[in-house]
Chain A
Amino acid sequence: MSNKNDFDVLKTLEKMPKHKLNQHRERDVLKQLNTKMMKVERWKRWKNTTLHITTIVGAAAILFFFIYPILTEPSFDSSLSELHPLEHFDGKLTPTFHLYDEDGSLLFEDGVRGIEGKIGYRDIGDNFVAEDERTGGKMFWYVWGDPNELRGEKLVATATHVGTEESFLLNEVELSLGIYEADAHALTSFAPFPYEGIWKIDIEIGTLEYGQITIYVKSPYPQSESITYLISEEDIIVGETLSFKANINKVIGEPSLEAVLIENNTREEKHITFEHNVDFVGESMYEADVHFEKEGEWKIHLLGETTSFKVSERSYSLD
């Protein structure tokens, strides 16, 4: 092989084996794909319905806020709404624990969030972000118990928002064989959380209530029609150099893009340059470092689109 010429190498490449899923796996993957596509469809319908309801409720709420102060003395404690949700939350968020391999060696330090020895999901350190599919895109459940009883059982996770008590089906999946030290596992995707705040996830396996995990979901990413800035609005804070990643729903093909940031009140302007990071299918990612010296409402203009966001002092640390 060491003396091959171009022709030989080309011939070798041509002869390299081609791969495909066998019939059995093809059928299984197609079945799973079908189930996931139906979930996507259901989620789209739910989102549209919610949008309509939100619009009606929103209009009613605006009307109420105008009329209510006229009718009665205000009794609403406005300072409470300024607090971070975690500051007026009585309970505790569910902590993480280590995951060990079968031989007892440490695999993922603080890598699973849940109830140790019972149930948890793989946590890579990023919070969930409201309305975002990416953060719950590839999730592992790990379950401890009787492996024979767990295998093939259905795990159903329902998320309930602390405050509004609104709930939705976060995930439904069949458990598979044990992995590492866990007695069963499942690889799945979580449906996106509709909004930020504290959410309690109730997990049922078969007919058993298996546990509850309490988590915090960050506020959504600022976005315009085709651009999403991959930084939760609550992480846009004063005094730190922030990495703004602009995920654009089209391929741009430019090495860099100029953007203007404008503060709403003072009209202060900042000019920043987004450098090309990577292209996805029909999408491009650009990145820029941004620094804010004071709080305020800002707008960013990029590629003819305007996105509003708020810059605030860090009110609460999740660390």
Chain B
Amino acid sequence: MDDKQLIEDWFLKYQKYITTYLVYYTGKKDVEDLVQECFLKAYQKLHLFHWDSDPKTWLISIARNLAIDLSRKRKIISFLPIMTDHPSPLPNTEETVIHKDEILIVEKAIKSLSRTYRDVLILKGIMDFSSKETATILNCSENRVNVTFHRGIEKLKRQLRKDGDGYVQQK
């Protein structure tokens, strides 16, 4: 299998993880351009990949850096919308039992947290990654992930209390 075939294979296996991560991290549904860029970057930097590690965590750290890079660029040029070559439909959302309003409130609350908490809550909380996998992606210790996760949950609760009152009353 050559490098190109390998990246195609990874794309088919892991695009759902990258898409989920980017949707929550950027707070936008239109992320396919970033997903594509993530795999292209992986192709260009394949020589840096440690073959004993998990491609999924490596790809997510690439996606994370691209998203950080993009947000930095946006700060410079105020706003550069991500355009695709075709009108872009939203990514598929898997069936879920959670109420739509609740999803919006949680998304908003996560987006309002700092990057450190947002990362850990998305990876460990939503995507169900282990502390070890999360630590690999974020390039920090497992202990730090656990502490940040715990604090992140506290902050999220506080934020949900603030944002969610209206929702609770409606319910």
Contacts and interface: CB of A to CB of B under 8 A. Distances in A.
Contacts of B96: 15-17
Contacts of A174: 85
A243 B160 CA distance: 41
A138 B156 CA distance: 34
A179 B19 contact: no
Nearest to B169: A2
B126 A29 contact: no
A280 interface: yes
Contacts of A36: 36, 40
A33 B85 contact: no
Interface string B102-146: 110111000000000000010001111000000000010000000
A10 interface: yes
Contact of A12 (B15, B93, B98): B98
Q: Interface range on chain B: under 10, 10 to 19, 20 to 34, or 35 or more?
A: 35 or more
Contact of A22 (B69, B92, B153): B92
Chain B facing A: main interface SS = helix
B19 A19 contact: yes
B106 A16 contact: yes
Contacts of B102: 1, 12
B35 A14 contact: no
A111 B164 CA distance: 40
Contact of B106 (A12, A24, A25): A12
B125 A281 contact: no
Nearest to A187: B83
Nearest to B105: A1
Contacts of B92: 19-22
A34 B15 contact: no
Contacts of A122: 80
A51 interface: no
Interface string A178-192: 010000011100000
Contacts of A281: 41, 45, 48, 58, 61-62, 65
B84 A187 contact: yes
Contacts of A253: 139
22 contacts: A2-B160, A4-B160, A6-B157, A9-B156, A10-B153, A14-B125, A17-B94, A18-B93, A19-B91, A21-B32, A21-B92, A24-B89, A29-B32, A30-B12, A33-B36, A37-B40, A122-B80, A176-B83, A187-B83, A279-B139, A281-B65, A282-B48
Interface of B: 3-4, 7-8, 11-12, 15-16, 19-20, 23-24, 29, 32-33, 35-36, 39-41, 43-45, 48, 58, 61-62, 65, 68-69, 73, 76-77, 80, 83-89, 91-94, 96-98, 102-103, 105-107, 121, 125-128, 139, 153, 156-157, 160-161, 164-165, 167-168, 171
Interface of A: 1-4, 6, 9-10, 12-22, 24-26, 28-30, 32-34, 36-38, 40-41, 108, 122, 124, 138, 140, 174, 176-177, 179, 185-187, 249, 251, 253, 278-282
Given A13-B121, A36-B36, A251-B139, 9 more contacts: A10-B153, A18-B126, A20-B94, A21-B35, A33-B36, A33-B40, A176-B83, A185-B83, A280-B69
